[in-house]
Structure 1
Amino acid sequence: MLRSLRDTAPKTILLTAAALFSIFPLLSMFSAALQPQGTAPAGISFPTDPQWHNFVDAWNLANITTLVKSSSILVLGVVPIAMLISAMAAYAIAQLRIPFGNVFFLLLLLGLTLPYEIVVVPLYYQMQSLGLLNTQLGLILPLIGLNMPFAVFWMRTHFQSVPLEISESSWVDGAGPWKAFRHIQLPLAVPALASLGVLMFLSTWNQFLLAIVLIDDPSKRTMAGALQGFIGAHSTDVVLLNAGALLIMAPTILIFLVFQKYFIRAMLAGAVKG
């Protein structure tokens, strides 16, 4: 019993410290958002008369309704398409063993070394030449391409863990590669796809740099991209700033809480099989 406690105590302490380290900033922002407007709150101090209307005021001032629609369009345009393309590419490389598949994979991995700051200028002029500047399509297409290196890497790891005998037996039974992919491989890849979808949702929803460079209209940007304008307009009101920031972060927190089991399952599968 004592030995078990000695083994689990350090892990419990580390997890508790990590949880407090993550939750403390959110609690500080939440307490600040409930203070009277125009004040300068410091630390965590919940008021006796919380000003819940601050969230309503921040919602209206930041035009959150329009931004939610815009961000949702971007997410729906990026995440499903990127998930499908990356799954097919990873399946072809890992299971079908296509010619030069490893070469293509290495070229994709080079994309992981390129930060957005390097490609943003070429992307700007490319979207300009295509006439897609200040359009949501002009942001969706680059985000799909920029997500491909990591997405293919993630899905290839999963498909490599699936025994080749599963695909080979389906081919013997008369199912072609495409039918085997749809009816066998995709159901097996649900945890990996779900966790990949969560990661791409977070990166797309929180996209900041490309949103402000490629789109001039704030109503067509992501919620994170529009945060800059809200900060510029209300930088002196710390209360409204915290309320607006919490509203912008809320969807990402909710999505992670809903899909966390898939994310954890895929991470554990990769740790055991990899």
Structure 2
Amino acid sequence: MIVGWREAWIGRLLLVLLMAATVVPFVSLFVTALHPSGTYPAGLDWPREPRWSNFTSAFEAAHMGELLASSALIVVGVVPVSLLLATMAGFAIGHLKMVGRRPVFLLFVLGLTLPFEGIVTPLYYQIRDMGLLNTRWAIILPLIGLFMPFGVFWMRAHFVNMPDDISEAAQIDGANIWQQFWRVHVPLAMPAISSLAILLFLWTWNQFLLAIVLVDDPAKRTMAGALGAFQGQWGTDIPLLCAGSLLVLAPTLIVFLIFQRRFVSALLQGSLKG
């Protein structure tokens, strides 16, 4: 009993320390954003007169309205296509047992080891030769390809655990492979699909490197990519820079808080199956 009690309290203490290490930087960022513009606040020093107008100033200075629209267009271009392709490929590799599935799957696994930084230079020249530099397609098309390894790996982990009896029963009822996929397996895979959609949304919204390298116009970048231009203009104004950073982070935090239960349930479902 004493050992179990100690383990429980040690676990709780570690969780509290981990939570503090995660929350304190955001609190410091928020407190700094409330200081007068042009000052250099120290740590968690709460200002005497909080300047809530810094958020409005940062929103207007960075043209956040245009950036929100640009990021939304990029997300709409990346996430649905990536979900469709990853779900279809995961179904073919994990459930249909297609010929050559293992080499194809290993190829996708190899793609998981490919860092964005390692291909950004050849990608730049390829996008330039295609005439897509300084357009949103320069971000959308590479992201779809770069997200495929993880997306296929994620969806394959779901479909490989689906019983063959489900497809056999649908086949007896006269359903072809396409009907089995859309009417039977896609509804059953919605937890995995929705959790993957959340991840793809977060990664697309926070994409920084490709937006900086492939697009010169900040109005055509993601919000995270445009933060680089904002930092260059307001890098010496620490409170305004912190306010802009929080505005960029806000949509991803809101989405994760809204869908966190569905995301965690999908992870737990995968762990129980695996």
TM-score norm. by structure 2 comes to: 0.96
Give the Cα–Cα distance (whole angstroms) in 2 for the partners of residues 84 and 211 of structure 1: 23
AA aligned opposite 2:52: W
Where does residue 39 of structure 1 map in the other structure? 39
AA aligned opposite 2:271: A
Give the Cα–Cα distance (whole angstroms) in 1 for the partners of residues 230 and 119 of structure 2: 26
Give the Cα–Cα distance (whole angstroms) in 2 for the partners of residues 139 and 32 of structure 1: 32
Where does residue 253 of structure 2 map in the other structure? 253
Q: Can you list the C-alpha shifts for 1:160-187, whole angstroms capped at 9, x where unaligned?
A: 1221211121112211111111111111
Once the 2 structures are TM-superposed, how far is the Cα of residue 47 of structure 1 from its aligned partner?
2.2
Identity of aligned residues (%): 50
Give the Cα–Cα distance (whole angstroms) in 1 for the partners of residues 2 and 187 of structure 2: 44
Q: Can you list the C-alpha shifts for 1:90-122, whole angstroms capped at 9, x where unaligned?
A: 001111111111211111111111111121122
Once the 2 structures are TM-superposed, how far is the Cα of residue 10 of structure 1 from its aligned partner?
2.1
Alignment of 1:101-250 (within 5 A): 101-250=101-250
Question: Aligned to 1:51, what secondary structure does the other structure show?
Answer: coil
Once the 2 structures are TM-superposed, how far is the Cα of residue 34 of structure 1 from its aligned partner?
0.7
Aligned residues: 274
Where does residue 8 of structure 2 map in the other structure? 8
> What residue ranges of structure 2 are gaps of 5+ in the alignment?
none
Once the 2 structures are TM-superposed, how far is the Cα of residue 138 of structure 1 from its aligned partner?
2.1
Between stretches 1-10 and 172-181, larger displacement belongs to: 1-10
Where does residue 80 of structure 1 map in the other structure? 80
AA aligned opposite 2:119: V
Q: Can you list the C-alpha shifts for 1:183-218, whole angstroms capped at 9, x where unaligned?
A: 111111111111111111111111111111111111
AA aligned opposite 1:39: T
Give the Cα–Cα distance (whole angstroms) in 2 for the partners of residues 78 and 59 of structure 1: 25
Give the Cα–Cα distance (whole angstroms) in 2 for the partners of residues 26 and 79 of structure 1: 27
Give the Cα–Cα distance (whole angstroms) in 1 for the partners of residues 6 and 228 of structure 2: 48
Where does residue 24 of structure 1 map in the other structure? 24
Q: Can you list the C-alpha shifts for 1:16-56, whole angstroms capped at 9, x where unaligned?
A: 11111111000000001111111111111222321110000
Give the Cα–Cα distance (whole angstroms) in 2 for the partners of residues 87 and 171 of structure 1: 20
Question: Aligned to 1:49, what secondary structure does the other structure show?
Answer: coil
TM-score norm. by structure 1 comes to: 0.96
Between stretches 68-77 and 11-20, larger displacement belongs to: 11-20
Q: Can you list the C-alpha shifts for 1:104-150, whole angstroms capped at 9, x where unaligned?
A: 11111111111111211221111112111111112111100000000
Once the 2 structures are TM-superposed, how far is the Cα of residue 246 of structure 1 from its aligned partner?
0.4
Q: Can you list the C-alpha shifts for 1:203-251, whole angstroms capped at 9, x where unaligned?
A: 1111111111111111101111111111111111110010000000111
> What residue ranges of structure 1 are gaps of 5+ in the alignment?
none
Measured on the aligned residues, the alpha-carbon RMSD in Å equals 1.3
AA aligned opposite 1:176: N
Alignment of 1:90-109 (within 5 A): 90-109=90-109
Question: Aligned to 2:135, what secondary structure does the other structure show?
Answer: coil
Once the 2 structures are TM-superposed, how far is the Cα of residue 5 of structure 1 from its aligned partner?
3.9
AA aligned opposite 1:229: A
Once the 2 structures are TM-superposed, how far is the Cα of residue 7 of structure 1 from its aligned partner?
4.1
Give the Cα–Cα distance (whole angstroms) in 2 for the partners of residues 25 and 244 of structure 1: 15
Between stretches 109-118 and 77-86, larger displacement belongs to: 109-118
Give the Cα–Cα distance (whole angstroms) in 2 for the partners of residues 219 and 52 of structure 1: 25
